[in-house]
Amino acid sequence: MTLEAGICPNGHVSYPAHPRCPDCGEPQDGTVDLADERAEVVTWTTSTATPPGVREPNTMAIVEFDISHLDLEDTFVRALGQATTDDIETGDVVEPVYVEELRDPDVGLKSSNPESQDWDGYRWDPA
Amino acid sequence: MGVAVIGASMTKFGRRDVWLQELLSEAGEECLDEAGVTPNEVEHLYVSNMASGEFEGQTGIMNALAHDLGVLPAYSERVDQTSSSGGAGIYEAWQSVASGASEMTLLVGGEKMTHKTTGQATDIIASITHPAEYKHGVTLPSFAGLTARHYLERFDAPRESLARVAVKNHRNGVDNPNAQFQREITVEKALDSPVIADPLRLYDFCPITDGSAAMLFTTEERAAEIADEYAVVSGIGGATDTHVVHERDDPTVMGGVVESSAEAYEMAGLGPDDLDVAELHDMFTILEFLQLEGIGVADQGEAWELAMDGATAKDGDLPINTSGGLKSKGHPLGASGVAQGVEIYEQLVGEAGPRQVEADTALACNVGGFGNCVITTIMEAAE
């Protein structure tokens, strides 16, 4: 399992990847796996009104990965994900932890065709 | 070709016992009747709606409404741009008349939502997100929580400023007989309400709503012949921002608001200082700040001051959401952008009753998703 961001020939990076670079429109032809990188919490929320199949409460954070060591045009890339704890603060350093099922695919709007998307992924764990 | 609005109407917003088809007919019929236009004069019909299939299993509602209103064989089309379907409908209706394709265009927006549980409705709306977001259980309210925290921390804005948006819009809603809520709230009540998406609480969010709204468009020439009072669409713009919300360069800048309002101002030959009144998409209190900054009324990080000093109240420098906004009037997804148009039309032709302010120029900003798609419309009173 990877936490894969896309890279275009101009060095723009996005998570998730897209067929074309959102910044310049060039096809993304490279990837970088962020699963072993650390990130910093930009902002977070604890949602207490969650939809069917989602844990309650659900603390999520937008985090920023420093990718300046890759020597690309973009020096950071952000990602949103669940946190492993409700005890999180802006500026915390986190690392991705793999989870097989982030929410229950068998309930909710997509339960009639759960194969339409992935349900595994990474949570942010304070380092 | 200049485009005029010669009629506007809306149903009572709230919990309604009828289904979408009937809600749409109610607003559409009233709009035609009040304008004195017969169904056979309608050449184009646009129906703004986000999710009738997901909410009630009914699809093809443009055809259903065309048949029910007796506007056959008019061209009909359903317009879906999620929460900004109504604004997109205004854009389509404007295009249809401006291009000469139609001389009489009816726009009806509507949504029937309250028969679903809050969780189910939240899930339908959350399905607009990228699968990489959806699997984490992200909801539109949680985007609001993430953004509000960042805004408050970065610009050192008081939490109370968000509560003041809710208090103001509830106050305005008291004077709107079609609003879902017609009751005032206090800052204390807002700040003590249950947490929904920390740091945001219940009163930072609009309710789940059934309702419909309609507008009637024609050429300025025809309007001058048949209407006593009318408004003119002098500027309109639409823009799209990233699907994945965290990919935006600055989490506090709504790019779609910036781009669509710039387009609308340019077309109208106007700027933010020319506005007399505006309807902004306050699905969440934080969005009123981000839109005030996006349309150029306030600098980045400073819109909260307008809420604190009363500048956006009905008797302030620039009244915002005299209708009560989505916060108090309610938010039947596909209807909301049209209902914004109804409010600014009524303000411009002097039919806003107890909500009336002095206005010759008005703006409506309708936001889809969390700023994913945005339509900004500027209307002016006919000279």
B324-351: per-residue pLDDT in tens? 999 999 999 999 999 999 999 999 999 9
Question: Would you place residue B383 in the very low, low, confident or very high pLDDT band (cuts 50, 70, 90)?
Answer: confident
pLDDT at B28: 98
DSSP notation for B129-152: S-HHHHTTT--HHHHHHHHHHHHH
Cis preceding linkage at A126, omega within 30: no
B57-113: per-residue pLDDT in tens? 999 999 999 999 999 999 999 999 999 999 999 999 999 999 999 999 999 999 999
What's chain B's average pLDDT? 98
Encoding tokens for residue B161? Answer: 């400023």
Tell me the nearest-neighbour CA distance from A16 into chain B, angstroms: 7
Q: Which CATH architecture has domain B136-208+235-378?
A: 3-Layer(aba) Sandwich (3.40)
Instruction: Spell out the domain ranges in chain A.
Output: 4-126
pLDDT at B1: 78
Res A1 pLDDT > 90: no
- In degrees, rounded to 5, the angle at the alpha carbon of residue A15 between the alpha carbons of residues A14 and A17 is 75
What's chain A's average pLDDT? 97
CA distance B351 to B355: 9
Quick check: B96 and B233 in contact, CB under 8 A?
no
Identify which of A48, A79, A121 has the shortest CB distance to residue B246: A79
B133-146: per-residue pLDDT in tens? 999 999 999 999 99
| Interface of chain B toward chain A, CB-CB under 8 angstroms | 54, 118-120, 122-124, 126-127, 130-139, 141-142, 145-147, 149-150, 153, 194-200, 242, 244-247, 251
Sign of CA dihedral B366, B368, B369, B373: negative
Mean pLDDT confidence for B115-138: 97
Provide CATH code, domain B3-116+209-232: 3.40.47.10
The answer to whether the CB atoms of A43 and B135 lie below 8 A apart is no
Q: Where are the alpha helices (DSSP H) in chain B?
A: 20-35, 52-56, 61-69, 85-98, 118-126, 131-134, 140-155, 159-173, 187-192, 220-226, 255-268, 285-294, 303-309, 325-329, 333-349
pLDDT at B357: 98
Beta-strand pair B277-279/B75-79: unpaired
A17-44: per-residue pLDDT in tens? 999 999 999 999 999 999 999 999 999 9
The answer to whether the CB atoms of A110 and B149 lie below 8 A apart is no
CA distance B61 to B45: 11
pLDDT at B376: 98
**Is A100 part of the contact surface with chain B (CB cutoff 8 Å)?**
no
A54-95: per-residue pLDDT in tens? 999 999 999 999 999 999 999 999 999 999 999 999 999 999
pLDDT at B35: 97
Give CA separation, B88 vs B197, B334, B374, B375, in Å: 29, 9, 8, 6
* Burial (0-12, 13-18, 19+ Cβ within 10 Å), A77: buried
Identify which of B118, B133, B141 has the shortest CB distance to residue A47: B141
pLDDT at A25: 97
- Return the closest-CA partner of residue B364 out of B377, B379, B350, B383: B377
Beta-strand pair B200-201/B211-219: unpaired
- ipTM of the complex in this document: 0.98
- Return the closest-CA partner of residue B149 out of A51, A90, A73: A90
Question: Would you place residue B172 in the very low, low, confident or very high pLDDT band (cuts 50, 70, 90)?
Answer: very high
B362-376: per-residue pLDDT in tens? 999 999 999 999 999
Instruction: Spell out the domain ranges in chain B.
Output: 3-116+209-232, 136-208+235-378
Mean pLDDT confidence for B198-206: 98
Chain B interface disruption, residue of A13, A45, A65, most B CBs within 10 A: A45
Residues of A in contact with B372 (CB under 8 A): none
CA distance B186 to B44: 45
The answer to whether the CB atoms of A102 and B196 lie below 8 A apart is no
Chain B interface disruption, residue of A8, A46, A47, A100, most B CBs within 10 A: A47
Mean pLDDT confidence for B245-274: 98
